Structure 1
Amino acid sequence: MGAAAQPLTGAPAAEALLEEAARRAAALPAAPHLALVRVGDDPASVAYVRGKAKKATQVGLSSQVHALPEATAQAEVLALLAALNADPAVSGILVQLPLPAHLNPETILTAVDPRKDVDGLHPVSTGRLWTAQAGLRPCTPAGVMALLAFYGVPVAGRRAVIVGRSALVGRPLAALLLNADVTVTLAHSRTPDLGAVTREADLLVVAVGRAHLVTPEMVKPGATVIDVGINRVPTEDGKGRLTGDVHPAVAEVAGALTPVPGGVGPMTVAQLLMNTVLAAETQRQEAAGELVR
């Protein structure tokens, strides 16, 4: 049995990112403002939005939750977004996902002004990412990069394998790593002999949503493993427990490993608030004529 992997816990890295966000927010003429749009009363969405608003206040940002009824028509959501886009006091806009089934998420997310797209999901944001231009990046992938930087994990020149090709994590993280001079392989659930691919990775990121998909024999000894998956598995008491896409025994093979929960999760909210500050800084520069796009 090998030595246990270094745990890459998210709390200290997230705290450092939040401290930087607070410092930069305090240097602006007015506090950055985050508009949080929630449609319906899904309990998880309610909790997530409440947590984001609370954390925003803690780092000196202002925020407002725009809670719309479940049956709100798409035209009404688009009208709200148009008003928020036009409001110079609003620095960033986040539309909480998932949306009710009758709403088209692509249409709604595309309606957000790219300059205020703090989720980093607008096609313009995606284009800027893949062409290595300045812009707002998706929160979880950018949070992963911040986590690696906090722990001093080298990335340039290394070989990375990402398991998972979603637009929220896998694809944008591939672009971020490519921009950092990493050789990237993007694998997924249909990749033949997945273990043969993952064993090539110095940096292995797993974001599939399948509990314990990656087992010890699939990991290169000493590799850095980032587990983005969050799955609830049954327990004898019926309450269930959270676990990742990576089997806990991988800690005996990897050099470093993020825990689940408590790894990547805290980074996502911290990066959202940093994105809000970055958006506010860019908007101030544009208003002052210091930045032209």
Structure 2
Amino acid sequence: MSPVLSYSPVVLPVPGRPVDLELRVSAPATGTGLPVVLLSHGHGGSNHLSSLHGYAPLADYWAAHGFAVLQPTHLSSATLRHRVGDAPDGPYFLRSRAEDMSHILDRLDVIEDTVPRLAGRLARDKVAVAGHSLGGFTASLLLGARITDDGEEIDLTEPRISQGVLLAAPGRGDVLNGPMADALPVFRTIDFSTMATPALVVAGDKDDSRHFTDMGPDWHADPYHLAPAPKSLLTLFDGEHLLGGISGYDAAETSDENPERVATVGRLTTAYLRSRFTPGDTAWQTACEELTTGTVESK
């Protein structure tokens, strides 16, 4: 592991966005050709974990293992509720969340120039998106999944992204029958058949999201089963929605707190991305063979 540098906020003015786009950048202190991971936070009940201040257990791990992690604060964050709560597309800002990632990729030169000791170190041809929960929905759209809004099919595929990691992401829309189904009607329209970009789907076998569906934990594996190959599915034994606590160190909202599970998520996602970005790298194969706290399948 390498020492990590973390810098925030990087502020990017975006025309038409009600507030500037702010992000945290975490990267190893040394090295060049760093693959980029765009990390999309969830919605959640916390005030600050759903922002650039969250997901340190993953951001720190990925950065220490050679990735540059870029974490925006989406407009859906509770930290912005007092400023953009009445803005169109709120409170979830589903389209804006995906567009944030494209704006970041448009401005990588500015980000490199802003963050000390980062200039010239990013590999622009090695970009992945990772997202947890609602962030997993955001990542799905960037990887090619489609939604329909007011009769219009929305395509937010980002061709500069070549890999994805979906963490406890929402599944199919035709089984929604919980109280959140009416709050997010666009979830009913998700189409994974167009999500062609390679991705690793991570799901907990006890992540029962009854507020959306009574389908049970299998719902979170839908992005794997319903999307075309190549895809992989990592199912974590006893994992609930926070997958052991990925949204923050010692987060009270974690119902299945388990540092070993968080370490497994970090280790397996790192190995997956490393092997996807570097043909011939065996890190993913080795990590799968050594896994004892979950199962992996691929297609």
Q: Using CA pairs below 8 Å that are at least 6 residues apart, which structure has the higher relative contact order? A: 1
Does the TM-score normalized on the shorter chain lie above 0.5?
A: no
* TM-score normalised by structure 1 residue count: 0.38
Q: Counting helix residues as a fraction of each chain, which structure ranks higher?
A: 1
Structure of greater Rg: 1
Q: Counting strand residues as a fraction of each chain, which structure ranks higher?
A: 2
